[in-house]
């Protein structure tokens, strides 16, 4: 067993609730206070299982035998998924009253940027639960079953999804254009056009993403939040954000949010999950 520390406060109930609502059948599973998911890296594959230990202020991690050889990679990806390296006091100091209601809120990341890109595209114009169902269908259709963990699949690699036929993807329940967008994303990941690690210039990388078919500004921004776990991204044209800023244009909202730099991603989460927020 491995142990990954975090700095309190940490709102595990919120984090597990956020991720559980988006859990992809066949890839990940929540059981009470435990999260299990498949993972593959350079030919090694297996299950990662985590349980928060609030007394020890650490995330307890168990890896199946197939992943022990790449344990450092697995642990680094879990740190990103759960935002374990966040300094909540630095964030709270910058956000002030905005963070007071939920001081333990963290930024949910991902264990794989390409997977998160697929999730972001499949989440367009559908509910959170439907997005998870569609992603599960893609995983089971194109991913690799785990031989020692029946019912689990490793998420498709870019190379695997690159071979998909958009018409076959359509049969899984998505528009053919969305299937084409997934294949293009896979091609970009293989070619290196899609950065799979956080880029130095997130803003420019987001602009490049918007040149991909099927990816607009909202999807690019959401991908940056989760796939790259960018700390300073705001979504001024998000539907709920516009509701929180009545009478303001996206440009005005963007300027207003500059006060929360360099932690605008955390500000976004606090505004999303606070019915009491009002701009002043």
Question: pLDDT for 13-30, tens place per residue?
Answer: 999 999 999 999 999 999
Burial of 74 (C-beta count, 10 Å sphere; 0-12/13-18/19+): buried
Output the CA torsion 183→202→236→207 (10° steps): -50
> Which of residues 75, 99, 123 is at a domain's end?
99
**275 carries an active-site annotation:** no
In a domain, 151, yes or no: yes
10 and 32 co-located in one domain: yes
pLDDT tens digits for range 169-213: 999 999 999 999 999 999 999 999 999 999 999 999 999 999 999
State pTM to two decimals: 0.95
In 3D space, the residue among 83, 85, 131 whose CA is nearest the CA of residue 111 turns out to be 83
221 and 252 co-located in one domain: no
Domain count of the fold of the chain: 3
Encode 11-42: b = buried (16+ Cβ within 10 Å), e = exposed: bbebbbebbeebbbbbbbbeeeeebbbbbbbe
Query: Tokens 């999804």 sit at which residue?
Result: 161
Encode 129-150: b = buried (16+ Cβ within 10 Å), e = exposed: eebbbbbbbbbbbbbbebeebe
95 and 10 co-located in one domain: yes
> Which of residues 72, 99, 126 is at a domain's end?
99
pLDDT tens digits for range 76-124: 999 999 999 999 999 999 999 999 989 999 999 999 999 999 999 999 9
In a domain, 106, yes or no: no
Find the catalytic residue in 112, 165, 237, 238: 238
211 and 237 co-located in one domain: no
Structural domain for 163, as ranges: 113-226
**DSSP bridge pairs for 48:** 37, 63
CA distance 77 to 73: 6
């Amino acid at each position: 067993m491995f142990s990954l520390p975090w700095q309190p406060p940490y709102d595990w109930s919120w984090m597990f609730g956020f991720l559980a609502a988006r859990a992809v059948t066949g890839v990940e599973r929540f059981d009470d206070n435990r999260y299990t998911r498949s993972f593959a890296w350079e030919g090694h594959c297996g299950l990662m299982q985590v349980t928060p230990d609030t007394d020890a202020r650490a995330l307890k991690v168990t890896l199946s035998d197939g992943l022990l050889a790449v344990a450092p990679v697995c642990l680094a990806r879990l740190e990103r998924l759960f935002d374990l390296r966040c300094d909540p006091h630095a964030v709270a100091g910058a956000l002030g009253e905005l963070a007071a209601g939920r001081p333990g809120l963290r930024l949910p990341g991902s264990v794989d940027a390409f997977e998160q890109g697929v999730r972001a595209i499949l989440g367009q114009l559908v509910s959170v639960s439907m997005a998870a169902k569609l992603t599960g269908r893609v995983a089971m259709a194109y991913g690799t079953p785990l031989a020692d963990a029946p019912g689990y699949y490793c998420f498709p690699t870019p190379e695997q999804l690159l071979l998909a036929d958009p018409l076959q993807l359509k049969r899984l329940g998505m528009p053919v254009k969305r299937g084409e967008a997934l294949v293009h994303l896979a091609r970009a990941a293989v070619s290196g056009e899609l950065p799979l690690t956080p880029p130095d210039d997130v803003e420019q990388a987001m602009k490049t993403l918007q040149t991909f078919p099927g990816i607009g500004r909202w999807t690019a921004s959401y991908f940056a939040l989760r796939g790259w776990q960018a700390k300073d991204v705001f979504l001024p044209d998000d539907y709920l954000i516009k509701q929180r800023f009545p009478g303001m244009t996206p440009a005005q909202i963007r300027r207003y949010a500059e006060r929360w730099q360099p932690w605008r991603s955390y500000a976004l989460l606090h505004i999303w999950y606070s019915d009491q927020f009002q701009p002043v």
